Amino acid sequence: MSLEVKEKTQVRLVFLGAAGVGKTALIRRFLQDTFEAKHRRTVEEMHSKEYDIGGSKVTVEILDTSGSYSFPAMRKLSIQNSDAFALVYAVDDAESLEAVKSLRDEILEVKEDKYTPIVVVGNKADRAGSDRQVAADDVLSTVELDWNNSYVETSAKENNNVMEVFRELLQQTNLSSRLSPALRRRRETFPKGDPKDSRPPMNKTNSCIIS
């Protein structure tokens, strides 16, 4: 009897981290290519994007979680139901890196799998001058050598390496090869949205036809 490997048609990415590190800003930059400087508290918001690739529908769900409120049960459920994790800290906030370490431990405990796809994201690299509290080389060494995870330093404000975070997450979930044409054409396929909107559209699925 031959076993047929079913291709994954849905993947959920979850963004975790302390309050104010830029989780929502990274997601908003990816989905709408916009940036809002004012920090708004997030409880939990799900974004969904559907692609039509070669006649197959592939859905990418992005879960934006709270860093301000402590809902351990909600966070545990989010971890259980997700495929890959972006653990975000701010390079000008050393305490936010400590939160990443705790979250990683929690993910490995809940998932019971040390190979769970995790990308550690050092955001706000545009503030990396005198405001920097966390050295990139130190984090890179810890994340890649000790943790065996991926590391990306980003700036949602300046749109530096934001796409790389999502590429890395999708690559680790084995969807990268199917979605790479769509990601390369994000400027054409993702709606810009109205810059006046305070939030990206929630809980809506938009189809992107990739030719």
Interval 49-76: pLDDT, tens: 887 766 778 899 999 998 766 678 888 9
Name the pLDDT band for 205 (thresholds 50, 70, 90).
very low
For 1-18, give the DSSP string: -PPPPPPP-EEEEEEEES
> What domains does the chain contain, in order, with CATH numbers?
10-210 (3.40.50.300)
Calpha distance 210→49 (Å, rounded): 13
What is the residue-averaged pLDDT of the chain?
Answer: 81
Q: What is the model's pLDDT at position 109?
A: 95
At residue 80, does pLDDT exceed 90? yes
Question: What are the two backbone dihedrals, phi and then psi, of residue 137, each rounded to the nearest 5 degrees?
Answer: -65, -40
Calpha distance 40→198 (Å, rounded): 9
The single-letter DSSP state of residue 93 is -
Question: What are the two backbone dihedrals, phi and then psi, of residue 12, each rounded to the nearest 5 degrees?
Answer: -115, 125
At residue 31, does pLDDT exceed 60? yes
The whole-number average pLDDT for the span 41-56 is 78
Name the pLDDT band for 44 (thresholds 50, 70, 90).
confident
At residue 149, does pLDDT exceed 90? yes
Q: Which residue has the tokens 């040390």?
A: 114
- The answer to whether 143 touches 124, Cβ cutoff 8 Å, is no
Tell me the percentage of the chain whose pLDDT exceeds 70.
75
Q: What is the model's pLDDT at position 194?
A: 39
At residue 43, does pLDDT exceed 90? no
